[in-house]
Amino acid sequence: MTALAMPVARRSALRHDGAFATQAPAARPFDLSVVIVGYRSLKLIVECLATWDAAVAGIRAELIVVENGTGEPAADVLRTQRPDARVIELDDSIGFGAAVNRGLSDARGRHVALLNPDTALEPRSLSRLVQRLDRDPRIGIVGPRVWDDVAHSSIQRSWRRFPGMSTALFGRYSLLTRLWPSNPWTRRYLNQDRSPDECQETDWVSGCCMVVRGTLFRALGGMDERYPLFCEDVDLCRSAWDAGFTVVYDPGSAIVHEIGGSRKKARMRSTWLRHRSMTAWVLKYRRAVSPLTWLLVAGIWARFVLQAIRGKV
């Protein structure tokens, strides 16, 4: 396994200020507890769950669906399709991280998984990720290969390095990257110097599908609820490194992900939330707030303004 990143300095305490505080049950009859958080995405969830059985072949898996305050008849529809699923309907939208914590607060699996509604699981995809965790106790989080479509025409760079100053300037959708697509900063951030066919350590993997060691997730107190949407996967992986675990990309497992499939009707709001979460991440992990920190924050919001002007939100 090729090492892409060394663990960052450990923090003195594992837990953040999130609300995931429910005592873990003594018995864990499942190998994996999978949570899907929906927001106006019932159709996508139904399509995703059509691929569920083959994805969890060989393991005992628990399915939890959290409908995040949209008023859709999720419980009736999903209980008909998957009577074994636990469906939690929230009265109000409480944010992605908080909804994950609500769903997993009494999860009964040894490990936990985050799964987007706009995904399709390939056979044994979740089973293989669980097996990867079980084979190596050093791994805290593992993510699969992510394809753009069922034809496997292109791969998503779902395993990346932690964002920094260069990311604000040379992010995937920035004007500078469009003008200079082969620049070294974007290539480094997206791990374009690494083969997608190689199992490898990485800074972080996408939360569209990730499996987290259950003991780690509970020790961290779940997801950090300060992120309303986006960056919570980056933060969770950073916390795993801080706790002395590794994060791994495993192409032996694969899924298909339609990027933003559940957010297309609210593009402006989701783009604003992405930049807000990026700002929160920067302020959380910069050891000292300095002029450079505020320059980085300014770069983040300058990118948002440019996207708004160009009609990309």
- Ramachandran area for residue 246 (φ above 0: left; ψ -120 to 50: alpha; else beta): beta
Architecture of the 30-162+193-262 domain:
Alpha-Beta Complex (3.90)
So where are the chain's domains? 30-162+193-262
pLDDT in tens, the chain (313 residues): 434 333 333 332 344 444 444 445 556 899 999 999 998 899 999 999 999 999 999 999 999 999 987 777 778 888 888 999 999 999 888 989 999 999 999 999 999 999 999 999 999 999 999 999 999 999 999 999 999 999 999 999 999 999 876 666 666 666 677 778 888 888 888 899 999 999 999 999 999 999 999 999 999 999 999 887 778 999 999 999 999 999 999 999 999 998 755 555 556 667 767 777 677 777 777 665 667 677 777 767 677 776 677 665 5
Q: Which residues pair with 270 in a beta bridge?
A: none
pLDDT at 266: 59
Contact 2, 198 (CB under 8 A): yes
Global model pTM greater than 0.85 = no
Q: How far is CA 293 from the centre of its chain?
A: 25
The pLDDT of residue 255 is 99
